[in-house]
């Protein structure tokens, strides 16, 4: 699945939240198993496709079907976690580890972009004051 990290992180967050609700509503479902084999339903689909992040960064996903969503989640799991060298790390992945991975990637991107943003803002402010 070739989408921005913020879109994938959103997908994982929404899916994780829904698994928590599923485990709470259905005691027979084991939360640890849901983290590895999430139940993908219409609730996740509607929350994801209707989110502003999807509209902004991946508008082509607005018409995603439930089958497509399941395939997307499977792709994210199959892609797994990559090390600094870009190679897949051989470790057990679940919703939490994947969300942490994409969150860390997102933070790194923002940390590298912030100094440039700050400079742009300062330049813009100085131009306005002149």
Torsion sign (Cα): 8, 9, 12, 18: negative
Q: What is the pLDDT of residue 98?
A: 96
pTM assigned to the model: 0.84
Strands (E), 81-130: none
Residue pLDDT, tens place only, 28-53: 999 999 999 999 999 999 999 999 99
Q: Report the alpha-carbon distance of residue 85 to residue 97 in Å, rounded.
A: 18
Q: What is the pLDDT of residue 63?
A: 96
Tell me the domain boundaries of the chain: 5-129
């Amino acid at each position: 699945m070739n989408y921005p990290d913020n879109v994938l992180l959103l997908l994982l967050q929404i899916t994780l939240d829904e698994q928590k609700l599923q485990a709470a509503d259905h005691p027979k479902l084991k939360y640890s198993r849901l983290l590895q084999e999430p139940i993908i339903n219409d609730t996740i689909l509607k929350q994801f496709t209707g989110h502003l992040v999807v509209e902004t960064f991946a508008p082509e996903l607005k018409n995603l079907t439930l089958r497509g969503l399941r395939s997307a989640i499977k792709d994210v799991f199959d892609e797994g976690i990559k090390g600094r060298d870009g190679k897949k790390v051989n470790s057990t992945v679940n919703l939490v580890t994947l969300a942490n991975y994409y969150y860390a990637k997102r933070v790194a991107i923002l940390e590298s972009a912030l100094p440039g943003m700050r400079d742009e803002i300062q330049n813009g402010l100085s131009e306005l004051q002149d």
